[in-house]
Structure 1
Amino acid sequence: MILVTGATGNLGAAAIDHLLTKVGPDSIAAYARNEAKAAPLRAKGVDVRLGDYDDSAALAAAMEGVSKVLLVSSTDHGKLQDQHLNVIRAAEKTGVEHVVYTGTAVKDADASPISPMLQAHFRTEDDLRSSSVAHTVVRNTMYTDALPVFIGADVFERGINLPVGDGRTPFALRREMAEAAANVLLQDGHEGKTYELTASESYTFSDIAQALSERSGKPVRYVSPDPQAFEDGLRSAGVPEFGVATISGFVTDMREGRYDIVTRDFEDLLGRRPMSLSETLQEVYGL
């Protein structure tokens, strides 16, 4: 039995969809907070077990009879490490054989403006290494799916206005990362390993603008403004201060090359090359 946490989120749901192409629904359990949101999983025959990352008792109950767990990282960044530790301890308590954790592929995290958020992922990795449970870490790069958050859904009308300069990021599609994580759960020999899931090459936002232009037939211009002016623009648009700091932090990390990591791990786990930038943009923007 495989338990997927964060099962109603985009990554968890995509992992379950891929698992269902390989094993029957009676081999999959979903850990979810909301019964209504989990209804589509029940409709697919998946065993839904309710609870959250703060509920140690619910976690332990959800892991009864489970041999493998996909720990999809929490989005509650103030409590992220503690919540992950609750999952790890529940796995130890119930005799789970293997935990696969979705971390983040980033370098020089100490220098990042969002260092506390990033470091919580690496401290979770330390907690896994200190535990008695066999584990695998899959560090995900930035999602192509997240690009509309940074450049807007109206990019074809307004262009790209983001202070990333010539910074490069190996954007990849979230559902393919979910597929890679699911493959780790389905295969033997991944215990104790750390994989960095990145596209086969890194891209600048000039590359993104060009790919969008070619796919859409509309010219998309890329401008890299002054970072302070960009932040002021977010505030003027009504973005709360926490949102400004978070978006600006990710943008700074892209500008300074912290996500510029390229490995073959993703290709090896998928058994093929991941989708190209143009292909992922086509899917994300419905081109």
Structure 2
Amino acid sequence: MILVTGATGQFGSKAVEHLLKKGIDPSEISVLVRDSAKADHLKEKGVQIKEGDYTHPASMVQAFRGVKKLLLVSSNNREAIENRTQHHKNAIMAAKEAGVKQIVYTSFVRKPGFENSAIADFQNSHIESEQYLKQSGVAYTILQNGIYAEMILAFVGDKTAETETILFPAGEGKASWVVREELAEAVAHVLITEGHENKTYTLTNTASIGFKTIAQEISDVLGKEINYQSPEIGEFKAILEKAGVPEIYIGMFVMWSTALAQQTMDKEDDTLSLFLGRRPRSVSRFLKKVYG
């Protein structure tokens, strides 16, 4: 039995889809959801629905019984970082108590020097979760996923074609952007194949690009020049404040743009290619689909 957490979320739901596409019988797949009513579409496919919550270990122990492999999709809790870490620890502890044989955990790409990056707290949450998993005694597979290509759309905004400008203070920073769909496909591969116990994999694209290239790619698709501007952080914040952007989003944009400028996510690796059996989708292909 394979169990997928966060199965009504964007990543977990795609992981379930790929398990089914790869021929796993629905009766051999179960999902952990907080509200079973939101998983009716999975129930209709024959997937077993189990209610549970990262904040309630007892509910997870019950849900995890009889499970051989657990896909622990990292928590998307929007509150304090330490809450997310505790969610992961609760799930790992519950899995061990329930007798789960292997935990596959979705972590985040990491490079030397991350301790000084703008996303250090975010990274440390994953490190603490990874360490807890390794010390649990349960066989583990850690997938250090690259940053989603879909995040580009949030960073450039939805008015790019109108303003003909990308305003984002990432400087010359690059990242090995990956499409969420392909990461979910790779996770499904790991879940249904053997030999991944007690291993850590980096799942990124084979080439890193920055926003100058992204602007050029969008220009090519739209047939008009899109300019990339990287203002100073103070100026960037002032522009967003004037535009009425909520403070929480300003903080997010500043954090991620600074991390990109620090070159914290430009780690290239071919493991994802090996798992997919093909080269990952390039940012160019991704943007053509979005803007074409």
Answer whether TM exceeds 0.5 for this pair: yes
**TM-score band (shorter)?**
over 0.9
* From 96, 100, 106, the counterpart of 1:102: 106
* From 116, 125, 144, the counterpart of 2:130: 125
Question: Which residue does 1:209 correspond to in 2?
Answer: 215
- Confirm or deny that 1:84 pairs with 2:85: no
What's the CA shift string for 1:179-198, capped at 9, x where partnerless? Answer: 11111111100111111111
- Confirm or deny that 1:93 pairs with 2:97: yes
> SS at 1:258's partner residue?
coil
The CA deviation at 1:154 is: 2.1
Question: Which residue does 1:64 correspond to in 2?
Answer: 65
Percent identity for Structure 1 against Structure 2: 39
Question: Which residue does 2:20 correspond to in 1?
Answer: 20
- C-alpha separation in 1, matches of 2:196 and 2:70: 13
- Confirm or deny that 1:147 pairs with 2:152: yes
- C-alpha separation in 1, matches of 2:114 and 2:43: 39
- Confirm or deny that 1:34 pairs with 2:38: no
The letter of the residue matching 1:199 is N
Check conservation: 1:135, 1:191, Cα contact below 8 A: yes
> SS at 2:209's partner residue?
coil
The letter of the residue matching 1:31 is L
What's the CA shift string for 1:22-76, capped at 9, x where partnerless? Answer: 2111111111122332222222221111121111111111111110011100012
- Confirm or deny that 1:247 pairs with 2:247: no
- C-alpha separation in 1, matches of 2:250 and 2:123: 17
Note the residue ranges of structure 1 that are not aligned, 5 or more in a row: none
What's the CA shift string for 1:229-249, capped at 9, x where partnerless? Answer: 112222233333333222211
Question: Which residue does 1:236 correspond to in 2?
Answer: 242
The normalised TM-score by structure 1 is: 0.95
* From 163, 181, 185, the counterpart of 2:187: 181
The CA deviation at 1:275 is: 0.8
- Confirm or deny that 1:5 pairs with 2:5: yes
The normalised TM-score by structure 2 is: 0.94
Question: Which residue does 1:73 correspond to in 2?
Answer: 74
Residues 187, 121 of structure 1: alpha-carbon distance in 2 compared, 3 angstrom cutoff: same
Aligned residues: 286
The letter of the residue matching 1:252 is T
Check conservation: 1:99, 1:136, Cα contact below 8 A: yes
The CA deviation at 1:286 is: 5.2
- C-alpha separation in 2, matches of 1:39 and 1:149: 30
Residues 25, 218 of structure 1: alpha-carbon distance in 2 compared, 3 angstrom cutoff: farther
